[in-house]
Amino acid sequence: MTELDPATTTLGIVGAGTMGSGIALAALYHGFSVRLYDVVEDARQNASTYLQNHLDRKGLGDRLDRVALIDDLDRFSEVDFVIEAAPEDLGIKQELFARLDALCRPTIPLATNTSTLSVTVIAAATSNPGRVGGMHFFNPAAVLPLVEVIEGADTEAEVLASLVSLASALGKTPVVVRDTPGFIVNRVARPFYGEALRLLGEGAADVETIDRLVEGGGRFRMGPFRLMDLIGIDINLAAMQSMYEQTFGEPRYRPHWIQARMVQQSALGRKTGRGFYTYPETQPEKPAPEPEPKPRQAGRGNAFIVEDGWGPGIRDWLSGAGLTCTDQLGERPEIAVVAVGEAEQVRQLLPALEAELEADVPILCQAANRSIAESSGWMHSPERLIGFDGLFVADGAMIHLVAPPRMAQGARERLDTMMLNLGRVPLWTKDSPALVLPRIVAMLANEAAFAVGEGVADARTIDRAMRLGVSYPLGPLEWMAKLGVERVLHILEHLQREYGEERYRPAPMLRRWARTGASSVDGFIA
């Protein structure tokens, strides 16, 4: 295929709303000519002002000559590509594609920017569905780098290749996706919101604690609630509902009543001034002092640690904070940490530790694949056992702690002080299956594994799309490689056991990778 030359290429864009005008701006930035069609006069006018302002800001005001805002679709007879960004309504889109098919030269590829409809079904309205594909841009389209190029059931290989080159010529990173509900990003991101909402609904923690854990421990740019407020609770709910309906009730996509109620009461997030937070964000008159973690000096005592991969980085953290890490019970340790996955080992260790250690030595046990209620049941003094998230303690400045059923008076305050002295801000939640980050990240990885198994895209492509489309610090499958497939599987099995729900069933592909010992993203093949 010959290289695309924007200087001699005219793009026809249908719909001059949020997405159409954003795509037009990207096209003008990159030197294309544009015909931008809309049926509404105001929409054309607003788009014109938007384009002018943005082009002027970049000193590209003269590029405005290259755009024609039109109210007559017949002028698409000479365009070289069409991108449709009309409202998300199958009837409107099918009618438009039937007209475009008749109007545009037969060799011209036709693309839809639909986010939830099937490209294959839209294409069925044309006489040649082979010329139709999807180009799913992200809002704001002139800024965000990702375009999902959707291969409909009938899309010809040459058409797909032209849409990929078009996306590149628009300065975007294209990823090719099979035409399946939610494509990659809108599908794989569902658990980020869905699991956070369930944690909130179960009273595991409040909105702010969950956001702080996800941002601080997982290095996500925004926690799920802050992000839902930004996206709009109604838009986020509609995406969830669409996935649920398109899959005829897949439990992983079941919308949450909290979101539905918020939409009913018009608490839609930033745009209405009220969502999970209120806007403009009110600063408390006297903000509660954020405890500054104080790293310790060296040589301040011992930490007893047993770790088998469920607490990567714990030794580095504690030795960095001045403790000498040991797995021998000789001298009295300041703290005992059990970051072990295997039940039998935990069952033996915990009673032995409580017998050996004075009552004021805290015993911490990782709780990503076993509740603290269960682990502490193996002890004579269950109130001594503190749960924690060992998997995400390495990177962040926080530590996620779980209180035992009946915690001794003052024990929590003493532990808070100790954690601050060890350089971690403590955040407490209830004893909740798979905690916060292990649960969210395992479910993201599981969703990605389902998508690989269903042939939506390959593992690398899915990870790239998630990093570019929703700015995740790591792709879900990179995360799975980092945590270990076996461990992700154990977390999911724990969730499924605790809830007894299909929602948490591990993807068949994930089980297969665990069995075959796949350990890197390149090894995660279907």
- Residue ranges that bind ligand NAD, judged by CB under 6 A: 14-20, 37-40, 43, 85-88, 92, 96, 113-115, 137, 139
Rounded to whole angstroms, how far apart are CA atoms 58 and 147? Answer: 23
Which of 49, 110, 114 is closest to 85 using CA atoms? 114
The answer to whether residues 187 and 243 touch, using CB atoms and an 8 Å cutoff, is yes
CB of 84 to ligand NAD, least distance (A): 8
CB of 80 to ligand NAD, least distance (A): 19
CB of 166 to ligand NAD, least distance (A): 16
Catalytic residue, chosen from 136, 256, 400, 490, is 136
Nearer to ligand NAD, 87 or 299 (CB): 87
148 catalytically annotated: yes
136 catalytically annotated: yes
Structure tokens at 346: 């935990």
CB of 136 to ligand NAD, least distance (A): 6
CB atoms under 10 Å from CB of 491, counted, come to 28
Rounded to whole angstroms, how far apart are CA atoms 18 and 12? Answer: 16
Nearer to ligand NAD, 18 or 165 (CB): 18
Distances (CA, A) of 228 to 231, 245, 254, 267, 474: 5, 20, 16, 11, 20
What's phi and psi for 274, nearest 5 deg? -150, 125
Rounded to whole angstroms, how far apart are CA atoms 427 and 388? Answer: 10
Catalytic residue, chosen from 148, 151, 307, 447, is 148
Nearer to ligand NAD, 108 or 350 (CB): 108
Ramachandran area for residue 31 (φ above 0: left; ψ -120 to 50: alpha; else beta): left
Catalytic residue, chosen from 113, 115, 162, 371, is 115
Nearer to ligand NAD, 38 or 195 (CB): 38
Rounded to whole angstroms, how far apart are CA atoms 72 and 83? Answer: 16
- The residues near 163 (Cβ < 8 Å, ≥ 6 apart) are 81, 109, 111, 133, 135, 149, 174
Query: What amino acid is encoded at 27 in this protein?
Result: A
CB of 125 to ligand NAD, least distance (A): 13
Tell me which residue has its CB nearest to ligand NAD: 17
Q: Which H or E run includes 356?
A: helix 343-356
CB of 240 to ligand NAD, least distance (A): 15
The answer to whether residues 148 and 175 touch, using CB atoms and an 8 Å cutoff, is yes
Structure tokens at 305: 């640690």
Structure tokens at 241: 């509902």
| Strand ranges inside 403-489, DSSP E | 425-429
Nearer to ligand NAD, 255 or 433 (CB): 255
Distance of CA 367 to the CA centre of its chain: 23
Q: Which H or E run includes 508?
A: helix 508-516
Angle at alpha carbon of residue 194, lines to 188 and 197, rounded to 5°? 155
Nearer to ligand NAD, 239 or 434 (CB): 239
Rounded to whole angstroms, how far apart are CA atoms 78 and 70? Answer: 13
| Strand ranges inside 6-137, DSSP E | 10-14, 33-37, 67-70, 81-84, 110-112, 132-137
Rounded to whole angstroms, how far apart are CA atoms 498 and 222? Answer: 28
CB of 70 to ligand NAD, least distance (A): 10
The answer to whether residues 184 and 507 touch, using CB atoms and an 8 Å cutoff, is no
Catalytic residue, chosen from 33, 162, 186, 375, is 186
Q: Which parts of 111-219 fold into alpha helices (H)?
A: 119-123, 157-169, 185-188, 190-201, 207-218
CB of 75 to ligand NAD, least distance (A): 13
Question: Could you identify the residue written with the tokens 């309504």?
Answer: 89
CB of 141 to ligand NAD, least distance (A): 8
Nearer to ligand NAD, 85 or 197 (CB): 85
How, if at all, do strands 33-37 and 110-112 pair? Answer: unpaired
Nearer to ligand NAD, 38 or 80 (CB): 38
Nearer to ligand NAD, 74 or 342 (CB): 74
CB of 372 to ligand NAD, least distance (A): 41
Nearer to ligand NAD, 76 or 504 (CB): 76
End-to-end distance of the chain based on CA atoms, in angstroms?
A: 30
The answer to whether residues 384 and 359 touch, using CB atoms and an 8 Å cutoff, is yes
Hey, which residues are catalytic here?
115, 136, 148, 186
